[in-house]
Amino acid sequence: MKVLTKDHKYELANFEGTGVQTIQFIEKHKNPVEGDALITINDGTTNEEVLAMLIDRTQGLHNKFPSRESAIAITKMQEALLWLNERTRERKVRKVEGKHLA
């Protein structure tokens, strides 16, 4: 893995060394006009989408080649996704989602 833009853009090596793939996460900055509001600088995916993809992939592989370790990994990824979604839900309740506020 190579960081192209800290926290937002990464270059991932293909498994068999045949090249690389780039993954772009959504990048937002404070809107200079609206204070705490955020504006999208670069569109991209989210941690939640990547985790959902990894859960699906790992579950599919686990169905073919079951193991205790992959079952635990799936559970931990599901737990991580649950907490990220809870963070978003809680920020919406406090009306700070999409704003540069803690």
Tens-of-pLDDT digits for all 102 residues of the chain?
999 999 999 999 999 999 999 999 999 988 888 777 888 999 999 999 999 999 999 999 999 999 999 999 999 999 999 999 999 999 999 988 877 766
Contact 70, 56 (CB under 8 A): no
39-50 pLDDT per residue, tens: 899 999 999 999
Q: Is the pTM of this model over 0.75?
A: yes
pLDDT of residue 102: 61
Burial of 95 (0-12, 13-18, 19+ CB in 10 A): exposed
Closest by CA to 73, choosing from 90, 61, 85, is 61
